[in-house]
Structure 1
Amino acid sequence: MQNKTELTELFSQKLANYQQQRVKLRSIATRVSGLRILSFALAVGGMFYFSDHSILVYASASLLLVFIGLVFKSASLKREIEECRLFEGINQKSLDRQNGKWQDFEDDGREFIDNDHRYSSDLDVFGDNSLFQYMNVARSVSGRARLADGLKEGLAGAEALTLHQQAAKELASKLDWRQRFEVICESLGAKNENLNTLYAWAKQDSQDFTMWQKSMLFLPLITIGSFVLIFVAKVFAYITMWLLLLQGLVFLLHMKKYIDEISVFEDQHGNLKRYANALMHIEHCEVTSELLKSAAGDDNLGASKYVEKLNNVVAFCDIKYSPLVYAAFNIIFLADMQLVYRLRHWQKQHGHAIESWVDAIATFEYAACIAQLHYENPQWCFPKFIEKHQATTAQQSFNAKGLAHPLITEEQRVANDLSALAVGSVTLVTGSNMSGKSTLLRTIGVNVVLANAGGPVCARALNLGHLRLFAAMRSIDSLGDNVSTFFNELNKIKRVFDDLDANATQLILIDEIFSGTNSKDRYVGAVSVIDALMKANAIAVISTHDLAISELESTYSESFRNIHFSDTIDKNGMSFDYSIKEGVASSTNALHLMRLVGIEITDAALAQFEN
């Protein structure tokens, strides 16, 4: 694995290479554009100027072939230029992640925000400055949804976690493959909103064409044949006319039914081609991990070819946007009937596999998100999960070395060791304002989210049980719902107890417990919550400014633990080391901060409090 300096140099070099390549391609495109205009002008001008010289007219007309060739070349260059631009964007984002400048990434997954979820809103999993925004490289709707689900619900069981870790480690070494896969999937997020409609079409029980309908498919051949025979005998003109009238009637009788069936593929031409390209890229990827082998396995063999074939059929759907052409094609060729027949034939052969093909793309995109995280953060580790039958209750917990918040830059974050967060225990975190209490809870939470999603964690080592996470860290009032901040917090903590599961170990994070009420009620409420959590199948980490709660250590002995953060106030101001220390905080800084912002603290107020 490369270090940060080497990664920065690598992505900078790749970015520069694609920028240079794009400049070169644009220069070529400009010359081709000029030649295209010149060839057309020479062709048209030559045919008029040399109209009396047949050989020169043919020579001039041949320049139209050159013009057509240059049109295709221009289109090819345009695609290559766009591809370079996408590669530039991918490497620029990798650079931004290395430099801690990823907060402006456009895709932050805000549509996945759920304020009633157990932890995602409290831990900034989605939205501004979120985990999704930092790590997502999935582009398809299904790939993004897969990542969102992994971050919200985690993976089920030890086997799934192991398989995803193996897949991520394998794809991490395939940087070029991953970047090209991201480029191929780039446009799949914009035009595949109709996937559910496509799935429904693929599953439906389509009617077979009747013998009469199948015979109608050959009628256009007879019509075209009769048209050719007009030059032999004029009587065939009448035959052609009656055949066209018959085909027009068939078209009108079936038009609505066929249009409804074809509408499933509205705007899907080209999009299916992109799916085919993504599947082909997967087919050409040599993998050994079980998860990726299964996704690209025998059941999906040849998927790209079949989707490409469907795309070629669907291409004819677009003629309906030209009414005159649409009517002509249906009267002459029975185009809709031909199209529906081919679509139904494809659906019967391959429709059952569409969801598994899209799922294969999502599986690779999910693995690529985790692989990217692993590749760009080589100092992180993959966690080790402890099974219940392999350890004592005390070991089925959370033990970390060098744990830090993954979204804080490497230069700014402070790593801490945190061990013996055992089932049935409560760890109380005290400390002055801005000393690191809330950040510690978020650090624990976000790393558990990554671990449960099969990803690496920001730590030197992390051993943990299979933990079901719950966080109550952000409570806001709502005028519309007539709900205060304190009542919102009560509802969150109530959901903690409603959500307790005897079959799952809970990790519960509560920041500033009951901070919205008076000290007496806060103390009584906090003690009651702590007592209940100790009796549950849970690990709890709770922060507070109320030092009286820390005295519970003498009551609960080994099940209750005090840790704290401290600050230093001297003539140079206030500073923090953000390091965890055992015991209860012995200093406060609220009055100092009040003075710092200009609030005058009177001697009378101090004396009244001391008395």
Structure 2
Amino acid sequence: MLEFKKYNELEEKLNHQKKITRIWSLIRAILAIASIIFIICLLSIGDYLLYGLLSGVFLALFFISVSLSNPSYKALKIIENKRKVYERHNQRRNKNFSHFSDNGIEFKDKEDYKLSDLDIFGPKSLYQYLNEAKTPLGRALLAKQFKDPIELDSNFKSMVKNLAENEDSLELEASLMEFKKGQAGITTDEFLSIVSKKIEFKIWYFIPIISFILMLVYIPFIFIFGINPYIPLVFLGVNFISSKLLIRDDILTKDANSYYYLSDLYVDLSLSIKNTNIEDEYYQILKKKIVDEIPLIKKIRGIYTFLNIRKNLLLNIILNIIFSFDSIMILILRFKIKNGIELKDSLKSISLIELALSYKNIGMDNMEYCVPEDGDKIDAIDMYHPFVLNCIPNSISLDSGIVLTGSNMSGKTTFMRTLGICILLKNAGSIVPAKSFKAPNMDIYTSLRANDMLQEGVSTFYAEIKRMKKINQAIKESKCLVLVDEIFKGTNALERIEASKKVIEKLNNYHAIFIISTHDFELCDTKGITNYHFEENYIDDKISFDYKLKKGPGIKGNALYLLKMSGIIEE
């Protein structure tokens, strides 16, 4: 767990920045009031030279002050965001993360049972616990790594570790907090359509531009030779009518406001990455790709600025009447903006940094973590569940099957979920919550919450059958980890035991690595398995658990004891 050493400095920086912004607010207010007073004087007194000049000067000073002060307001916002980042980390350390706004529920796939069994998406999920990604590509990449991961090399994992150990990485989190979830819904292809879409500039698009040029040429002749002053009105009419009737392209109909703010946030985030120095070779490679494309992102922001202005009906009419705005915009988009392939690589680099920032929370906010290694079997030392406060760590070496017994509430299901999450994080290219962790690359198949399908009108036993059918197919295709909680609990004891033994035999035949928990001690004698158990202790007629995994079969349960404690049955 990283010790935060810069948090105390933050309050001092925040107070200092607030003073600066208050001064700027005062200056802007004074200039605005002065401008209004002089404009009123201009309209009421009529000294056009004096008050016109003063109005113009103070209006200019006001807009200059707005431009100069904006960086100070942005700096204040970043510091405030950074304070929120520290608060989020403290909440995550206390396992109080269920209110974090983005839980990735839209990425959940009901047919991929491990996603619900291991709490990967939705409320109180791994996605909600880890996620720092805010850009459209970043959120999608984190979800993909949990569902269908692409392999990430050791350089990426080294970057995750370095981010987990560097408090300066919180600067990047603070910049990301400006992204809103609505903007995250804009796909990368939609955002880059302005550079990737081939704009066809048709010959008649030049008509309003030619009309605009002729108008500019004609106007000086009015003053020089006194020719007809009403002809420019004809040109203005041609400008507007030809722009509206002849210029047709769906890029002009975009929701430019959302795209403008998204491009502005990309600029700020890119600058934050540029200014944040992380001593890591892979980070520096990604940083260079991002920094090299800042000019193009700024250019795109400028284009969306003008497209956003176009959404104002009055400005749209004025700009097209006077400047043939639509045709000029199409001309700029056709010839000024280059291919967006390099920019797409830059946005991918940003998403990789977001992914690493998400993964690093395993290390930054927990006592123990490691970079997992490949191995022929599962070797886990002191692994723990990242959601459980003061979770008791457990170790295991596993290359075949386990029958896991133990009384209710002793820790069986949590242990299986812990192993499943560790394997999933390793597959995803993350660090894992363990002192040491080795495992082969393997898919995960689970049947931990089969009873959750009751609300869909599916019985517990039939839900188990559906899950076991998937497991049956998977073990034939590749090496995988199978986790089954209370196998076939939806049917009678006699058939449950017989069916369970046959399933275990099949899993062994295909050399699957599996853990099957059960309350049926008869399964402990099944050939080809190793027995492990959890147990409880009774002190002064009170039940307690140590949550430590122990080798061998369980020899006792607590169901009768709990029923007696509840007064349901008597001695």
- Shared fold (TM-score greater than 0.5)? yes
SS class of match (2:480): strand
> Is the Cα–Cα contact under 8 Å of residues 266 and 317 in structure 1 kept in the other structure?
yes
**448-457 or 191-200: bigger deviation:** 191-200
The answer to whether structure 1 residue 540 and structure 2 residue 519 are counterparts is no
Aligned equivalent of 2:232, options 240, 250, 258: 240
How far apart are the structure 1 equivalents of 2:457 and 2:43?
81
Deviations 1:489-527 (A, max 9, x none): 22111111122354x320111111111211111101110
Q: Which one-letter code corresponds to 2:387 in the other structure?
A: L
**88-97 or 284-293: bigger deviation:** 284-293
> Is the Cα–Cα contact under 8 Å of residues 372 and 436 in structure 2 kept in the other structure?
yes
**484-493 or 18-27: bigger deviation:** 18-27
> Is the Cα–Cα contact under 8 Å of residues 51 and 57 in structure 1 kept in the other structure?
no
For residue 170 of structure 1, what is the aligned residue in structure 2?
162
SS class of match (2:225): coil
> Is the Cα–Cα contact under 8 Å of residues 39 and 66 in structure 1 kept in the other structure?
no
How far apart are the structure 2 equivalents of 1:330 and 1:223?
13
Deviations 1:29-61 (A, max 9, x none): 664465346534654576689867976885576
For residue 199 of structure 2, what is the aligned residue in structure 1?
206
How far apart are the structure 1 equivalents of 2:269 and 2:223?
50
For residue 83 of structure 2, what is the aligned residue in structure 1?
88
The answer to whether structure 1 residue 475 and structure 2 residue 450 are counterparts is yes
Q: Could you tell me how far 1:282 is from its partner in structure 2?
A: 3.8
Aligned equivalent of 2:565, options 583, 596, 608: 596
How far apart are the structure 2 equivalents of 1:148 and 1:206?
33
Aligned equivalent of 1:271, options 262, 283, 304: 262
TM-score normalised to structure 2 length: 0.90
> Is the Cα–Cα contact under 8 Å of residues 226 and 237 in structure 1 kept in the other structure?
no
- Superposed, which structure 2 residues align to 1:387-398 within 5 Å? 396-398=376-378
How far apart are the structure 1 equivalents of 2:157 and 2:24?
44
How far apart are the structure 2 equivalents of 1:47 and 1:251?
37
The answer to whether structure 1 residue 465 and structure 2 residue 465 are counterparts is no
Q: Which one-letter code corresponds to 1:519 in the other structure?
A: A
How far apart are the structure 2 equivalents of 1:595 and 1:29?
71
Aligned equivalent of 1:383, options 372, 375, 389: 372
The answer to whether structure 1 residue 587 and structure 2 residue 556 are counterparts is yes
Q: Could you tell me how far 1:460 is from its partner in structure 2?
A: 1.2
**171-180 or 279-288: bigger deviation:** 279-288
- Superposed, which structure 2 residues align to 1:501-520 within 5 Å? 501-502=476-477, 504-520=478-494
Q: 1:225 to 1:65 in 2, by over 3 A?
A: same
- Superposed, which structure 2 residues align to 1:293-372 within 5 Å? 295-296=286-287, 302-347=292-337, 349-372=338-361
For residue 421 of structure 2, what is the aligned residue in structure 1?
446
The answer to whether structure 1 residue 551 and structure 2 residue 525 are counterparts is yes
> Is the Cα–Cα contact under 8 Å of residues 171 and 272 in structure 2 kept in the other structure?
no
Q: Could you tell me how far 1:332 is from its partner in structure 2?
A: 1.9
Deviations 1:216-266 (A, max 9, x none): 5354233123224322234242442333333234223324x13x2322453
How far apart are the structure 2 equivalents of 1:563 and 1:273?
56
The answer to whether structure 1 residue 413 and structure 2 residue 391 are counterparts is yes
For residue 226 of structure 1, what is the aligned residue in structure 2?
218
Q: 1:404 to 1:495 in 2, by over 3 A?
A: same
How far apart are the structure 1 equivalents of 2:296 and 2:56?
39
> Is the Cα–Cα contact under 8 Å of residues 25 and 77 in structure 1 kept in the other structure?
yes
Deviations 1:152-190 (A, max 9, x none): 23343xxx2423212213333543254235414632643
> Is the Cα–Cα contact under 8 Å of residues 151 and 449 in structure 1 kept in the other structure?
yes
Q: Could you tell me how far 1:271 is from its partner in structure 2?
A: 1.9
Deviations 1:452-484 (A, max 9, x none): 122222211112111211121011355664311
Q: Could you tell me how far 1:451 is from its partner in structure 2?
A: 1.5
> Is the Cα–Cα contact under 8 Å of residues 211 and 238 in structure 2 kept in the other structure?
no
Q: 1:515 to 1:25 in 2, by over 3 A?
A: farther
Aligned equivalent of 2:242, options 218, 241, 250: 250
How far apart are the structure 2 equivalents of 1:56 and 1:326?
31
For residue 606 of structure 1, what is the aligned residue in structure 2?
none
Q: Could you tell me how far 1:441 is from its partner in structure 2?
A: 0.4
Deviations 1:534-587 (A, max 9, x none): 0114100111111111111xxx2xx31001111112324101111111111111
For residue 79 of structure 1, what is the aligned residue in structure 2?
74
> Is the Cα–Cα contact under 8 Å of residues 161 and 453 in structure 1 kept in the other structure?
no
The answer to whether structure 1 residue 569 and structure 2 residue 567 are counterparts is no
Q: Which one-letter code corresponds to 1:343 in the other structure?
A: L
Q: 1:237 to 1:153 in 2, by over 3 A?
A: same
> Is the Cα–Cα contact under 8 Å of residues 18 and 87 in structure 1 kept in the other structure?
no
How far apart are the structure 1 equivalents of 2:307 and 2:236?
22
> Is the Cα–Cα contact under 8 Å of residues 181 and 281 in structure 1 kept in the other structure?
no
Q: 1:342 to 1:83 in 2, by over 3 A?
A: same
> Is the Cα–Cα contact under 8 Å of residues 100 and 128 in structure 2 kept in the other structure?
yes
Q: 1:208 to 1:30 in 2, by over 3 A?
A: closer
TM-score normalised to structure 1 length: 0.84
The answer to whether structure 1 residue 399 and structure 2 residue 399 are counterparts is no
> Is the Cα–Cα contact under 8 Å of residues 159 and 356 in structure 2 kept in the other structure?
yes
Identity percentage over the alignment? 24
SS class of match (1:406): coil
> Is the Cα–Cα contact under 8 Å of residues 139 and 182 in structure 1 kept in the other structure?
no
For residue 179 of structure 1, what is the aligned residue in structure 2?
171
Q: Which one-letter code corresponds to 1:101 in the other structure?
A: N
Q: 1:440 to 1:283 in 2, by over 3 A?
A: same
> Is the Cα–Cα contact under 8 Å of residues 385 and 463 in structure 1 kept in the other structure?
yes
**62-71 or 313-322: bigger deviation:** 62-71
For residue 431 of structure 2, what is the aligned residue in structure 1?
456
Q: Could you tell me how far 1:284 is from its partner in structure 2?
A: 5.1
Q: 1:194 to 1:432 in 2, by over 3 A?
A: closer
Q: Which one-letter code corresponds to 1:207 in the other structure?
A: E
Q: Between Structure 1 and Structure 2, how many residues are aligned?
A: 569
**520-529 or 128-137: bigger deviation:** 128-137
Q: Which one-letter code corresponds to 1:451 in the other structure?
A: K
SS class of match (1:119): helix
How far apart are the structure 2 equivalents of 1:24 and 1:597?
62
Q: 1:270 to 1:213 in 2, by over 3 A?
A: same
How far apart are the structure 2 equivalents of 1:54 and 1:430?
93
Q: Could you tell me how far 1:291 is from its partner in structure 2?
A: 4.7
How far apart are the structure 2 equivalents of 1:96 and 1:266?
37
- Superposed, which structure 2 residues align to 1:96-175 within 5 Å? 96-156=91-151, 160-175=152-167
The answer to whether structure 1 residue 524 and structure 2 residue 498 are counterparts is yes
Deviations 1:344-380 (A, max 9, x none): 2245x22333432321211111122123433333621
For residue 389 of structure 1, what is the aligned residue in structure 2?
none
SS class of match (2:178): helix
